[in-house]
Amino acid sequence: MAHKDPSIDGLEEELENSKLQLLTSPLIKGVPRSSPSNGPTPASTFPREQQQSGPDLEEFGYRDDEDFSPREVPEFQRHADATAIEVFYDLFFAANLTVFSDVIDINNGEKLATFVVYFSLLWFNWALLGLYDVRFITDSIFERCARAVHFGVMVSFAVIAPNFSLENQQSATFQTMSVILMTSRLTMAVQYCTILWYCRTYRRAKVPLACMIALNFVAGMIYLGIGFVFNGGNRALYSIWFVVTALEVIISLGLALKWDVLSFQGTHLASRISLLTFILMGEGLGLIGLGVVRIVQNANEWTPPTIGNVTAGVANIYVVFMIYFDWRRSIRLGKYKQLLWSFIHFPFHLAMRIFIEGSSQFVVWWKVMETMEGVARKFERAGTQLDAAAVNMTADTDFTAVLVQEVNRTVMEVFNVYVPKYSITQASVLQAFDELGQIPASWWTQENLTEANIESDPTFISMRETLQRLALAMENSLLAGFKIDGFANFANTTVTDTNTLEELVAQTNEKKFNTVYKYAFIAAGVTLILMNILFIITSRRWRPFDYLQKTFNFLAGIALCLITLTLSKYDSFAMTPWPLPALLLVLFTVLVVHHLPSPPPILFGKNGKAGRKQEWEAVHMVVGEKKVSGDASDGPAGVTTPGFQETDTLYRGAGVHS
């Protein structure tokens, strides 16, 4: 009788297991519930006669440790890194931010607040699902269908992005947002139900999983209820979203700290957070690219200052990436530090994203200012040509017509490249030409006009003001062409005078630039400060030089935050191509200081006990702690030195117990 090759049986079993199932267990396969893979063997696995032999330990007060019994807490599958479906979901997150950034330019306080609200809702929606993924994610027909719902939630975020605004709240948009949040929470409640089903025989798993189901269901119902009360009457009603979301996060983390079945120890939570950070940095490069597309109309636009600004904008993101990566190379954290490190990434991601948005805006603003400098030079050349024409002017020369013709030629040179977006610009230009055309021809030939008295001449004053209004109209038009649109703030205005409207638009644009200038530097400083806090959380050994480095990092971040307050006149700095290079210089200095070699010990001598301990910590991986005996040859006697954790560590639930 022929024997079947056992390798073929294994291959058939592997192929069978690779087929998609309706539901897939998140528990570790092959680990009997009554016989754990690690730790002591339960008494129930021994024959009854062996169990009954010997004294009854319960009579002496002994009780089994039910909290850590493998029969009470399930063992879940763990992943070293994010799965493909998690990465794909993270890309949806970045795509949503790109869409929202394309429809809203953060250039005033209201739009900045709108971005913060949108980003917060999006981030915490991602985070709450991520907390489920890193502990319980599986691949099954049900999970793929649930993920499709979550993808639909992300698409819905993008759909409402164009109409999501705190300035002009639309009831339908805010009601839709509530329904989106409700859908996400109810879907997660069903997902937790499947986990409870597989853990139904584990007594210690039922209550915490039931709490997670109830939490998501109640949150979903609250979001549904909020949707019904959005009627445009209460503009601050959206703050309830933050209250509910904050409670969701706090309760979820509290449950995870209380019960091992919900713990994040042994999961890839840190890896997942870092992955999103890198994706956001890559999305930031796309923002800089969009800014470049907006400013470059032809090959002649690539001037040295423009190239320098674009390079500095990209380099800023790259340096932030290097700092972040260098400060998180080794992460082995306890359960409290792990959660603290993970959720500090929310303000870090928000600040970094605003900083990148500001960098993109700086690229555009500088190009507009550079273009206006070019327009000013064109008018200077026109003035030179007018001076030359005045020398050859005769009594029959209509110098007013020459002036209008030269100004018209200069304006058309600009508008042929940067076409006006609004008809009001054309009206302002035509009005300026009309006012210039009303200058009497005889005025140019007056003999009593000299350099001393021309400044007080009414006709000269009128002509100068007309040219200034013309330049202002051209500047407003250029900014609108670069999507810095002050006219949008006056879409429903009752102002009919074009000159008055142009002045109001110019004031609005100036306020927008001030806002960009301030939030870009403040966000850059906050980004650096938060990265330093993350660095401190993951740091294990501290030397005197480490204190100096981290103090310098804090001071650099604070300096960036305060730079907008210390400059009395921002024009001397902000109206130049130097803001982005200045940011780059500070960030690069922080990077260099981090990689400076440690100076020779000053406070701790090499021959002393503390010095020997410092050398020991410098060459060994800090993983666990164990006492080294006095006769040990590999470390100082009688001190706590780093070493690997014991090999009989038990991973139960998501917790680590040694």
228-286 tens-digit pLDDT: 887 765 667 788 898 999 999 999 999 999 999 999 988 999 999 999 999 999 998 88
* Percentage of the chain exceeding pLDDT 70: 78
Instruction: Mark which of 510, 541, 562 sits at the end of a domain.
Output: 510
500 and 614 in one domain?
A: no
Whether 479 is in a domain gets the answer: yes
* Percentage of the chain exceeding pLDDT 90: 32
503 and 650 in one domain?
A: no
373-387 tens-digit pLDDT: 888 888 888 777 777
383 and 247 in one domain?
A: no
Query: In this predicted structure, what is the pLDDT of residue 73?
Result: 78
Lowest mean pLDDT among 31-40, 195-204, 604-613: 31-40
Whether 97 is in a domain gets the answer: yes
Over residues 488-508, the mean pLDDT reads: 83
Q: How confident is the model at residue 46 (pLDDT cuts 50, 70, 90)?
A: very low
Whether 355 is in a domain gets the answer: no
Q: In which residue are the tokens 């703050």 written?
A: 239
Instruction: Mark which of 262, 284, 317 sits at the end of a domain.
Output: 262
The residue ranking higher by pLDDT, 405 or 190, is 190
Range of the domain at 253: 74-262
- Bridge partners (DSSP) listed for residue 640: 627
The residue ranking higher by pLDDT, 595 or 68, is 595
H/E element, 587: helix 579-594
Whether 129 is in a domain gets the answer: yes
The residue ranking higher by pLDDT, 210 or 68, is 210
504 and 632 in one domain?
A: no
Over residues 544-565, the mean pLDDT reads: 89
- Bridge partners (DSSP) listed for residue 656: 651
Instruction: Mark which of 236, 262, 288 sits at the end of a domain.
Output: 262
Return the number of other C-beta atoms located less than 10 Å from residue 395's C-beta: 6
227 and 78 in one domain?
A: yes
Lowest mean pLDDT among 410-414, 598-602, 646-650: 646-650
292-328 tens-digit pLDDT: 887 776 556 788 888 888 999 999 999 999 999 988 7
256 and 126 in one domain?
A: yes
Q: Would you say residue 359 has pLDDT above 70?
A: yes
Query: In this predicted structure, what is the pLDDT of residue 630?
Result: 39
Q: Provide the whole-model pTM.
A: 0.81
User: Of the candidates 263, 191, 183, which has an alpha carbon nearest to the alpha carbon of residue 227?
Assistant: 183
Q: Which residues, other chains included, contact 244 with Cβ-Cβ below 8 Å and sequence gap of 6+?
A: 219, 222, 223, 226
User: What CA–CA distances, in Å, run from 248 to 130, 251, 269, 466, 467?
Assistant: 13, 5, 18, 60, 60
Query: In this predicted structure, what is the pLDDT of residue 571?
Result: 64
233 and 113 in one domain?
A: yes
User: Of the candidates 13, 119, 135, which has an alpha carbon nearest to the alpha carbon of residue 83?
Assistant: 135
116 and 240 in one domain?
A: yes
- Mean pLDDT, all residues of the chain: 79
Over residues 606-615, the mean pLDDT reads: 52
395-431 tens-digit pLDDT: 666 778 888 888 888 888 888 888 888 888 888 888 8
User: Of the candidates 535, 530, 541, 526, which has an alpha carbon nearest to the alpha carbon of residue 594?
Assistant: 535
Query: In this predicted structure, what is the pLDDT of residue 396?
Result: 64
Lowest mean pLDDT among 39-43, 106-110, 537-541: 39-43
Q: How confident is the model at residue 152 (pLDDT cuts 50, 70, 90)?
A: very high
Contact by Cβ (8 Å): 550, 535: yes
> How many domains would you assign to the chain?
3
Whether 554 is in a domain gets the answer: no
Contact by Cβ (8 Å): 635, 628: yes
Whether 602 is in a domain gets the answer: no
Whether 141 is in a domain gets the answer: yes
Q: How confident is the model at residue 540 (pLDDT cuts 50, 70, 90)?
A: confident
Q: How confident is the model at residue 54 (pLDDT cuts 50, 70, 90)?
A: very low
Q: How far apart are CA 389 and CA 205, in angstroms?
A: 92
Whether 257 is in a domain gets the answer: yes
Q: How confident is the model at residue 394 (pLDDT cuts 50, 70, 90)?
A: low
Q: In which residue are the tokens 């610009």 written?
A: 425
383 and 246 in one domain?
A: no
615 and 505 in one domain?
A: no
Return the DSSP state at 108.
S
